[in-house]
Amino acid sequence: MIRFTHVTKEFPRTGFALRDVSFHLARGEFAFLTGPSGAGKSTILKLSYLDERPTSGEVKVAGTSSVTITGRDVPKLRRKLGIIFQDFRLLEDRSVEENIAFALEVTGAPSTGIASRVGKLLTQVGLASKGMALPRELSGGEQQRVAIARALANDPMLIVADEPTGNLDERATRGVFQLLRDINAAGTAVLMATHDLELVRQAKFRTIELNHGQLVFDSGAPAPAAAVGDDA
């Protein structure tokens, strides 16, 4: 699903954000991305939805390579992904329903099916009764659920989540994380950056740890002989 091959990313002003990072996330897999602030977690996520391009090396996501992709192909790739942020990134002046419908309208989905699709997504994230609410009328956990519903709108193959529980209390964290687990159980791969080591420990998913832009630990790295399939 995602394959990083000797990826280095250098920014003109701040220098190296990643150095020679290689890893592979398989279809349907769940992996945590951990490490201290500034370790390069967000850079990895940005590279995986091609908001950034590597300085050297190759990022391959859902069959698309950072080496060959053109600007026109980026939106097509993004429609196969769902992206979630710590700060939710909802449109404040629109209702919950409109926020989710927005993701469908933007991709040119036929307007007839949008309302029922939005209804299903809201039920899936447990917010069926909050469709008309504005984001500011919801709790943090609920807002993140809306963001997740929006991320799911286009049936993504992969969810990229940047500290999705970073702004939430423990209860909300558990709820949102359970939702991500359910989504993963249904076959969607998840790459989730987090500071929450307790969550990482409890969940027993694969963990990729970064420090100073380098990959320092990968609990799921396949042994050399086992690395055969390539579904990136």
Partner 1 sequence: MRLAWREALLAFRRAPMLSALSVTTIAFSLFAFGLFGLVALNIRKALTEVEDRVEVRAFIVDGTTAEQTGAAIADVRAFPEVASVTMVTPEAALERARRELGEFKDVFDPGILPASLDVRLKEGFRDPATVKAVADRMKTYDFIDDVRYGEEWVQKLYRIRTLSTLAGMLLGLTFAAVAIIIIGSTIRMAVLARAREIAIMRLVGATDSFVRSPFLIEGALKGFLGGLLALLLAWSANAVIGRYVFRADFFDVRLSVLGVLAGALIGLLGSLLSVGRHLRDV
Residues of this chain that bind partner 1 (CB under 8 A): 49, 71-72, 75-79, 83, 89, 91, 102-103, 105-108, 111, 150, 153-154
Our CB check for partner 1 shows the closer of 94 and 212 to be: 94
Q: Which two tokens stand for residue 106?
A: 């933007």
Min dist. Cβ of residue 216 to partner 1 (A): 29
What span, in angstroms and rounded, lies between the C-alpha atoms of 162 and 42? 7
What span, in angstroms and rounded, lies between the C-alpha atoms of 65 and 82? 18
Q: Which two tokens stand for residue 225?
A: 């002989």
Q: Is the four-CA dihedral 198, 189, 153, 51 of positive or negative sign? A: positive
Min dist. Cβ of residue 63 to partner 1 (A): 15
Min dist. Cβ of residue 103 to partner 1 (A): 4
Per DSSP (E only), the strands in 39-188 are 56-61, 64-65, 81-85, 158-162
One-letter amino acid for residue 186 of the chain: A
Our CB check for partner 1 shows the closer of 108 and 187 to be: 108
Our CB check for partner 1 shows the closer of 120 and 171 to be: 120
Our CB check for partner 1 shows the closer of 193 and 215 to be: 193
One-letter amino acid for residue 76 of the chain: K
Min dist. Cβ of residue 108 to partner 1 (A): 7
